[in-house]
Each structure stands twice: as structure tokens, then as C-alpha cells.
A and B are shown apart, each in its own frame.
Chain A
Amino acid sequence: MTQLPPQSGEGAAVKLGLVIDLDTCVGCHACVIACKGWNTENYGAPLAETDPYGAAPEGAFLNRVHSYEITPEDAPARIVHFPKSCLHCEDAPCVTVCPTGASYKRAEDGIVLVNESDCIGCGLCAWACPYGAREQDPSEKVMKKCTLCVDRIYNESLPEEDRTPACVRTCPAGARHFGDLGDPDSDVSQLVAARGGYDLMPELGTRPVNKYLPPRPKDDEIDVLAPLLEPVAQEPRGFLGWLDRALERL
């Protein structure tokens, strides 16, 4: 069924999702590997590789970490690591384009999933997703995407602390948070409110459930004592001064 589930009153529905803290992420890619490991051994077709030990290794991943350099005019440049997986959009375009009903959004918790035995591998859902969250498996030829570890979070045979997505469980920096973003009192909703969590590409109207927390501003002053330090020579003197003048004359 590729129609989106009806929304039962604004704010009433459970919306499971992730909150990703761009201030804290150190770009170690541990979440990428934990995700690949769990999702290769569990739910659905394993995530395949092509040419894994050759010159051009390539494969399907459900989570990837980009890195950007930001150069503000009035502050030093900085690097921001940017993990990205399915945002479990409320208005998920990947679901409505699917001709077979393989792509669907669960009414009970809002998780967007693919029923792999119905997928014809047309790729249209990957085209419809703005975020590059869907990749076709190179050997199974079905669409793969983040399941929010649906086979962990409700799994009573796991210890309670493991009933969270593999990426969240593994992140050594605590940059990933999992919870119900439909409940304004949940920890994740509070975190989003406190830190000004935002949507990616809001202009496309997908209404992602996952939120991103912006990097905190860095301290402006490098050292409070820095202004008291003796200034270094502005004009080169001695040998360097001579060299400077000699080169100048050439």
C-alpha cells in the first residue's frame, strides 16, 4: 500500500526517528560500520559489496557520513561531519511513487520500510528521495534503506540497552539520539527544542522526522591573554630585511 497512512490528529501519532548532533559528531564512521554489520546479518537481504578487495570496491550502505568545510566571513573555518540516513519523512515521496506497494510507511510508528519480496527494483523511490537515503543492492537488486533497526528496537530477546538502532548504540561520541519525535515531552523532542533542531531541505515539503542539531558557535577569543602578548615585528630586519629589499628590487 503506497498511500501514506492517515495522520491521526496532529501530534497524536508516534514518530520514531533520530536526532543527530552535528556539534558532537567526530566523523569516525563507526555508525556506518555498525549499521552495515547489523543490517547484513539480520532483516532483509544482506548489504552486498562489488569488488570488495579489488581496485574499485563499492557497496550498499544505509548510512553515510559526509564532511563539509564551512568558511564563515567572521570566524575561522571549521569542519562539520554530517551523518545521513533515511529521515523517515512524514510526507515521504519515496512511498507514494512506488508502483508495487513494496515501499510503505508504518501507521503505528512512522517507520518507512521496503518489503523486499515485492520490490521490482525500478529505482523510482531512490529518485524521489531528496536525501540519497535509498540504494539498490548490487547483488539482490532490491531497494535497501534504513529500517531504524526495526528488528532491534522491539526485540525482547536483546538486553534493554541494545533495543536502540545499531548506529545510536555504537556512536562513541553520543552524537545520535533515538526516540519518539511525535511526543513533545520525549527526551529527543526536548533536545530538539533546546538546541534548535532543524529539517534538511525543508523547501521540498517532505517533513522529515529526523532532526539535526546545529554545531555550537566556537569561542571567538583564542586566549584571554593573547592581546597582552608583545606584538611580533611587522617589518623584517637583518638578513631577512636585506633579502626582502633585494628581491623587491629585482
Chain B
Amino acid sequence: MHPAASLLIFTTASGLGFGLLALLGVGLPRFDGLSAWAFYSLGFALACGGLLASTAHLGHPERALKAFREWRSSWLSREAWASAATLAVMGIYAVLHLLWGLRVAPLGWLGTALCLGTVVATSRIYAQLRTVPRWNHWSTTALFLGYALSGGALLAGQVTAALLLLILTGGAQIAAWMDGDRRFAARRHSIPSATGLGAPGGIRQFEPPHTGSNYLTREMVFVVARKHVAKLRVIGLALAVLLPVGLLVLPFSHILAALAVVSHVAGVVVIRWLFFAEAEHVVGLYYGRDPVRR
């Protein structure tokens, strides 16, 4: 799938933002006054910035409000509702805390639940697609939650929680990569199943239906060289997990913590890029792209 910049920014920034807001909702970190202002602003800026970036992916952003209509069947619509509800509830919680010094705990817990719900809804937009076997699995949701919470914990300066979450998420990511590499073959998608013709290896594209590219090939038939995939996975994991863990176990300093955050975010961007770029859509089979026998 085409790794569009708007979707990379959307999933990464809103994930971090909702992760941080989820922790603020349960009262972590316990700051008041100016530092509290800074944490809330950062959380809202990331969440809203990400959501705003997602509208850049739309052909008709001016009609974006119509996306609230079909929450009964569509995860994209549910995501719209969940994020709006989260911003509203966390907004009230933050205003009460910042202006009146009131921490309404149940409201915060509701906000936290909504933050996590939003991340789940975002992940389901991708995980629901049976046409993209690599995404079509509960591990997609687990990883979106893992990255949101570890990023949130890093931003909130929760060292122990961040360490634990980073290690868990990194492990889960490795498992998901290994499992994802096998899923297309396991689902038995092939050029013969797509066309009803020939046997595997006994059929190939003779000529494509059009001389140039088209919407489908640009959006969905995106291929990254295998050797680059391996390198990018190592780079992504090193930046997102290993380096931050290393920096966190050193004696605490603000500079090291900031470095850990920067490294983590850069790593998550690399991993998200791979999340899109590596994902094989079954329509590629019609264009002779069989990821199992390429």
C-alpha cells in the first residue's frame, strides 16, 4: 500500500497524542500549574494535528463531517465519533484541572477509556481489510495500542511504565512481522484464485490492461525490495525501542529523556512507513504481483 505522508502523520501523531492523553486521564504525571498546561497542550496538539493531517488524505475534505454518518457499519466513522468524544471529554477534564485545580477522577478514567477506544478504532480501519492480509489480524490493533501507550508513557516521563511497554511492544512487533510475512500464503491468495485460471507458477501476466500507472497501481501495488525491508525493520526497531530503552536505563536526565522521545518518534515513523509500504493488497495479483512467488 502507498505510504501517504498524511496517513503516516495521522497514525503516528494521533497515536502519540491519545497515548499521552490516556495517561493524563488517570492522573499521570501528577503535575499542576505550568507543567500541567504543557502536558495537556502537547497531548491535544498531537491528537488534533494527527486528525487534521488525516483530512489531507481526503479528496473532499470540506465534506469531512459526513464521515460521522455510518457508525453502525464503518470503522472510519466510529473513529470519527471516538476521537470527537475523546477530545470533548478530555477537554472538559483538562479545563477543570487547569482552571479550577479540580481533578474529576471518573471523568479522567472515561477520557482514558475513550483515548484507547479511539486508537482501537483507528487500528480497525486497517485491521478490518481482508484484502490486505498483513493488516487483517488482531495484532495490528495490539501494536497500535502498544505504540500509543509506550509513546505516551515516554512523553509523560513515566520511566518504568515506558520501559515495560517499549519492551513488550518491540517483542510484539517482531512476532507480528514474522507472522505477517506468512499470512498472504496462508490465506491461499494467488493469481489462480484471483483469475480462476491456471495453476500456481503456470500463469503470468502477459500484458497489463493499461500502458501507464493508474489509481490502483499507485495506491495499492506498492513494492519495497526485500533487502530494504530487513534493513528498515532493524533501523525502525533500534530507534523506536532499543535506543530509548538504553537511554532510559541510564541515570535520569532531561536531555536523555528528550533524546529517547525523539528517537522513539523517528522509529515509529519508520515502522509506520513499513506498515503501509510492506502491506500487499490482493489486487496486485491481477497485475501479476504474487508476493508469495515473486
Residues of A within 8 A of B (CB): 1-3, 22, 32, 56-61, 64-73, 79-80, 82, 84, 93, 95-102, 118-124, 126-132, 135-136, 138, 140-142, 198-205, 212, 214-215
Q: Which of chain A's residues have a CB closer than 8 A to the CB of B58?
A: 120-122
Q: Is A136 a contact of B197 with CB atoms below 8 Å?
A: no
In the complex, besides A2-B73, A56-B212, A70-B202, 11 extra interface pairs with C-beta distance below 8 angstroms are A58-B210, A67-B207, A67-B209, A72-B198, A72-B202, A120-B66, A122-B59, A129-B131, A132-B220, A132-B283, A201-B193
Give the nearest-CB partner of A65 in chain B: B209
21 contacts between A and B (CB under 8 A): A1-B70, A2-B70, A2-B74, A66-B195, A67-B205, A67-B209, A71-B203, A79-B206, A98-B70, A99-B66, A99-B70, A118-B63, A120-B61, A121-B59, A121-B60, A122-B67, A124-B74, A126-B220, A132-B283, A200-B196, A214-B196
Q: Which of chain A's residues have a CB closer than 8 A to the CB of B64?
A: 120
Q: Is B196 a contact of A71 with CB atoms below 8 Å?
A: no
Q: Is B205 a contact of A66 with CB atoms below 8 Å?
A: yes
Q: Is A68 a contact of B73 with CB atoms below 8 Å?
A: no
Q: A99-B80, A132-B286, A203-B188 are in contact. Are A123 and B196 (CB under 8 A)?
A: no
Partner of B193, one of A127, A202, A205: A202
Q: Is B189 a contact of A99 with CB atoms below 8 Å?
A: no
Q: A84-B286, A120-B58 are in contact. Are A64 and B210 (CB under 8 A)?
A: yes
Cα-based distance from A202 to B130 in the complex (angstroms): 12
Q: Is A127 a contact of B197 with CB atoms below 8 Å?
A: no
Partner of B60, one of A3, A58, A135, A141: A141
CB distance from B266 to the nearest CB of A (A): 27
Give the nearest-CB partner of B215 in chain A: A135
Cα-based distance from A69 to B205 in the complex (angstroms): 6
CB distance from A168 to the nearest CB of B (A): 18
CB distance from A208 to the nearest CB of B (A): 11
